[in-house]
Amino acid sequence: MLLEAVFRQYGYDFRDYAYSSLNRRISYFAQRLNIATISELQGKILYEPKLMEGLVNTLSITVTEMFRDPSFFEVFRKKIIPYLKEIPHIRIWHAGCSSGEEVYSMAILLHEEGLYEKSIIYATDINEKVLKEAKEGKVPLKKMQQYTKNYIEAGGIKEFSKYYCANEKCAIFHSFLQKNIVFAHHNLVTDQSFNEFHMIICRNVIIYFNEQLKERVFQLFYESLTEDGYLGLGSKESLICSSYTDQFQEVDVQNKLFKKVT
Ligand SMILES: C[S@@+](CC[C@H](N)C(=O)[O-])C[C@H]1O[C@@H](n2cnc3c(N)ncnc32)[C@H](O)[C@@H]1O
């Protein structure tokens, strides 16, 4: 009932998110606000849009890292970069980009491969708060040690610190990395395709969706890829067992890279 009401009032559709994690998150949200029942929460949310923002922030898990699962980026360099080198104007979509760490990682990789200038990266998310952070291009300085390690493991070939300047708290990416990135709001549940892409990266997002919603998202990705485009998923996600298995070929099983074939 709460999710139905939220959808009708605000257009946010969480009805097909995986039940157990959704349930846990809603209870946590209610507890934090000292709200005893879900019907009380529903009543409050419908009249307080600010509270709805808080619920979106709680339901969308935004944990991310630069060069997360470094082997994904290493294999991307080896197996996808040769394909992208042949394309005059590259379009990449990061769906569920969170605060942008994955997107800046991709911008760095493309820059090092001499492809950034001819690329445009669309980075989308449902959550306005993280999109705002992503546009700022800052990450907490304390995380840079781990990110530098990831960068090296991912096959990074330069001094990582040359991509940012630092103050006491933050690392701020150099503006040339932002030049070809478009950050925008897009909801994978309710919005349509908005372009045709050579590569779609959607990692650690559909893990929170039920099977029916995963199918919807695979269809969206299938329709949004060029004829021979690539799809990258998160380490615990797969197309296998979906009805799109035959439309994609596995390029790297471990790193969840797929190529559209039909
Ligand atoms: C765990 S983060 C993953 C971030 C990044 N892709 C990574 O792997 O590091 C999941 C992101 O998906 C976003 N998300 C959740 N539901 C979404 C939806 N329906 N449409 C678009 N983004 C969504 C969340 O807001 C969150 O920022």
Of ligand 1's atoms, which has the minimum distance to the CA of residue 191? 20
CA of 122 to the centre of ligand 1 (A): 14
**At the top level of CATH, which class does the domain 70-137+175-260 belong to?**
alpha beta
Token pair 């035959």 is at which residue? 246
What is the pLDDT, as a whole number, of residue 198?
A: 98
What is the pLDDT, as a whole number, of residue 262?
A: 81
What is the pLDDT, as a whole number, of residue 253?
A: 95
Report the interhelical angle of 2-10 vs 49-59 (nearest 10°). 120
Of ligand 1's atoms, which has the minimum distance to the CA of residue 201? 6
Question: Among residues of the chain, what percentage have pLDDT more than 70?
Answer: 100
Q: Determine whether the shortest distance from the Cβ of 125 to ligand 1 is under 6 A.
A: yes
Q: What is the pLDDT of residues 194-233, one digit of tens each?
A: 999 999 999 999 999 999 999 999 999 999 999 999 999 9
**Residue 67 to residue 151: CA distance in whole angstroms:** 6
The structural domains of the chain, with segments of one domain joined by +, span 2-59, 70-137+175-260
Which residue did the predictor score with more confidence, 1 or 138? Answer: 138
Strands (E), the chain: 90-95, 119-125, 138-140, 164-166, 170-173, 181-185, 197-202, 225-233, 248-252, 257-260
What amino acid is encoded at 83 in this protein? Answer: Y
Q: What is the pLDDT of residues 4-18, one digit of tens each?
A: 999 999 999 999 999
What is the pLDDT, as a whole number, of residue 157?
A: 86
**Averaged pLDDT score across all residues of the chain:** 96
What is the pLDDT, as a whole number, of residue 48?
A: 93
* Per-residue pLDDT band at 144 (split at 50, 70, 90): very high
CA of 214 to the centre of ligand 1 (A): 13
Asked if residues 80 and 230 have their Cβ atoms less than 8 Å apart, the reply is yes
Asked if residues 47 and 5 have their Cβ atoms less than 8 Å apart, the reply is no
What is the pLDDT, as a whole number, of residue 1?
A: 85
**Residue 227 to residue 230: CA distance in whole angstroms:** 9
CA of 187 to the centre of ligand 1 (A): 10
Q: Which of 61, 194, 205, 208 to mutate to test the pocket of ligand 1 (most atoms within 8 A of CB)?
A: 205
CA of 209 to the centre of ligand 1 (A): 11
Q: What is the pLDDT of residues 10-41, one digit of tens each?
A: 999 999 999 999 999 999 999 999 999 999 99
CA of 202 to the centre of ligand 1 (A): 8
What is the pLDDT, as a whole number, of residue 85?
A: 98
**Residue 132 to residue 92: CA distance in whole angstroms:** 20
Of ligand 1's atoms, which has the minimum distance to the CA of residue 234? 8
Which DSSP state fits 168? Answer: S
As a whole number, mean pLDDT of residues 169-192 equals 97
Q: Which of 60, 209, 213 to mutate to test the pocket of ligand 1 (most atoms within 8 A of CB)?
A: 60
